[in-house]
Amino acid sequence: MSYRQNIQLTADKNLKHFLSIEGLPRAMLMQILDTAETFSSVGERAVKKVPILRGKTIVNLFFENSTRTRTTFELAAKRLSADVLNLNIAMSATSKGESLLDTLSNLEAMQSDMFVVRHAQSGAAHFIAKNSPEHISVINAGDGCHEHPTQAMLDMFTIRRHFGDFYPLKVAIVGDILHSRVARSQIHALTTLGANEVRVIAPKTLIPANIESMGVHVYHDMRKGLTDVDVVIILRLQKERMGGAFLPSVQEYFQAYGLTEEKLAYAKDSAIVMHPGPINRGVEIASSIADGPRSVILEQVTNGIAVRMAVMSMTMGSYSAPLSTDQSLSANKRGASS
């Protein structure tokens, strides 16, 4: 039982913070998916609102700009009837020379209940959770190159909706594994949930040194790596990596690693294509695939709201789907995290 597990869970093993997939047992990930399932119908109702977090104060603490992620957290909070404060910290009190911890102390003194944190530094959300008082829950909305756990869980939710179970699945993650917090969270989630095989496909310059220790297989060739997979996850290529030491050019990248019909043909006929967005058409993915019948990219966005509602509700101790006996047994048998 790691340090991280301790800080994310309460003494009686309920979710207190949601900071990383690493350190959470399979049963907990399944409970998040089950809870999200109960929320997924809320978005389809005439009145898209449940009173679960009414009167709670949720602060979006974004040290990095991100309209899309902030928006989905804001919508999730509003559909749970919480009050939301959006703070763009880069532009606020810290510019008056106040320290991060003083800013946090002040927000806590305002009786906030939850911080949703995005920060360019790995470990920022853990640091904030460790330094927050008992009554605050912290959710990591992306920290540096470390983790982006709600993104991984919405991906798992989307996969489970399509295939029902993780055990038989072969999943390939394609792109800049080296810098991707999304990929790290996905790999932890897939191995914890017991996927048959997890592959990463990228040029050598974009693969971290000891990646095999996370339980994945490394490929540098798209056709080999995609052969027989059930799920293809394409990562966004950050433009700022281009043209330097990491990558030659957009054209050469698309040639070698961009997902095209020809390369996708190596995957199973039933394979689905995922992408965390926003997509670069013609860079990491061809438009015909992004808009095609195997793409589930927009389903991921929809599912993201249900998953974020689930994590918010669970960390606040307000509502969780029941832990199934089967799931906790499974966790004992095969759900060990790397």
CB of 55 to its own copies, least distance (A): 3
Choice between 287 and 338, CB closer to its own copies: 287
Contacts of 195 (CB under 8 A, 6+ apart): 166, 167, 169, 170, 171
| Tokens, residue 329 | 């047994």
Q: For residues 242 and 205, is the Cβ–Cβ distance under 8 A?
A: no
The answer to whether 13 contacts its own copies (rule: CB under 8 A) is no
The answer to whether 210 contacts its own copies (rule: CB under 8 A) is no
Among the listed residues 227, 248, 299, 323, the single contact to its own copies using CB under 8 A: 299
Among the listed residues 2, 10, 41, 99, the single contact to its own copies using CB under 8 A: 99
- Burial of 87-123, coded b for 16+ CB within 10 Å and e otherwise, reads bebeeeeeeeeeebeebbeebbeeebbbbbbbbeeeb
The answer to whether 249 contacts its own copies (rule: CB under 8 A) is no
The answer to whether 83 contacts its own copies (rule: CB under 8 A) is yes
Contacts of 15 (CB under 8 A, 6+ apart): 8, 9, 28, 31, 32, 311, 314, 315, 320
User: DSSP label at 144?
Assistant: T
Considering only the stretches 1-9, 119-127, 227-235, 295-303, report the one whose residues sit in contact with its own copies under the rule CB under 8 A: 295-303
The answer to whether 96 contacts its own copies (rule: CB under 8 A) is yes
The answer to whether 295 contacts its own copies (rule: CB under 8 A) is no
Binding mask 32-71 for its own copies (x = CB under 8 A): -----------xxxxxxx----xxxx---------xx--x
> Angle CA(137)–CA(125)–CA(277) in degrees, nearest 5?
105
CB of 16 to its own copies, least distance (A): 17
Count of residues that bind its own copies according to CB under 8 A: 49
Contacts of 220 (CB under 8 A, 6+ apart): 201, 202, 203, 204
CB of 295 to its own copies, least distance (A): 11
Among the listed residues 1, 12, 97, 269, the single contact to its own copies using CB under 8 A: 97
Give the burial class of 57: count Cβ atoms within 10 A of its Cβ; 0-12 exposed, 13-18 middle, 19 or more buried. middle
Considering only the stretches 92-100, 161-169, 194-202, 255-263, report the one whose residues sit in contact with its own copies under the rule CB under 8 A: 92-100
Distance of CA 217 to the CA centre of its chain: 21
User: DSSP label at 272?
Assistant: E
Among the listed residues 305, 312, 321, 331, the single contact to its own copies using CB under 8 A: 305
The answer to whether 240 contacts its own copies (rule: CB under 8 A) is no
CA–CA separation, 218 and 211 (whole Å) = 8
CB of 91 to its own copies, least distance (A): 8
CA–CA separation, 91 and 39 (whole Å) = 34
Residues at the site binding its own copies, with contacts judged by CB under 8 A: 43-49, 54-57, 67-68, 71-72, 74-75, 78-79, 83, 85, 87, 91-93, 96-99, 102-103, 105-106, 108-111, 239, 277-281, 298-299, 301-302, 304-305
